[in-house]
Amino acid sequence: MTEAKVLPGRTRLRVLRVASTGAFATLWLFVLGWIWAALGLPGADAFIGLFTTQLTTQLTDQSVGSVAALGIGSLCAFIVGGIFGVLIAHCYNLAGWVLGE
């Protein structure tokens, strides 16, 4: 038989781990959206507009699928994802502390 591992009563999220997860997840979503827009497929302009100042009126426009939009948008998506990861980890840890879990 195998032994069951008992988890400690209080679990805390590691802030750096959650921040890096959020940063890389948001980065990959942005890159996939950029590829989608560069192929001229509909529906990616709003997501790209969150992280770039490029004009996104037409998906076939060169500025949407440009390397500049990819570079600046990727950096912004990475930073914003990391910030939200930090906020989520701190909120989770604070809620556990307040609720006594």
Q: Which residues of 53-74 are buried (b: 16+ CB within 10 A; e: fewer)?
A: ebebeebebeebbbeebbeebb
Look at 14-18, 31-35, 77-81 and tell me which has the smallest mean pLDDT: 31-35
| pLDDT grade for 54, boundaries at 50, 70 and 90 | low
CB atoms within 10 A of CB 48: 24
The average pLDDT across 51-75 equals 68
Residue 34, judged by CB atoms within 10 A of its CB (0-12, 13-18, 19+), counts as buried
| pLDDT grade for 6, boundaries at 50, 70 and 90 | low
Residue 2, judged by CB atoms within 10 A of its CB (0-12, 13-18, 19+), counts as exposed
Name the residue type at position 82: G
Nearest to 89 by CA among 30, 26, 24, 20: 20
Give yes or no for residue 67 having a pLDDT over 70: yes
Q: Residue 84: its pLDDT value, please?
A: 95
Determine contact, residues 59/44, Cβ cutoff 8 Å. Answer: yes
| pLDDT grade for 41, boundaries at 50, 70 and 90 | confident
The average pLDDT across 48-56 equals 70
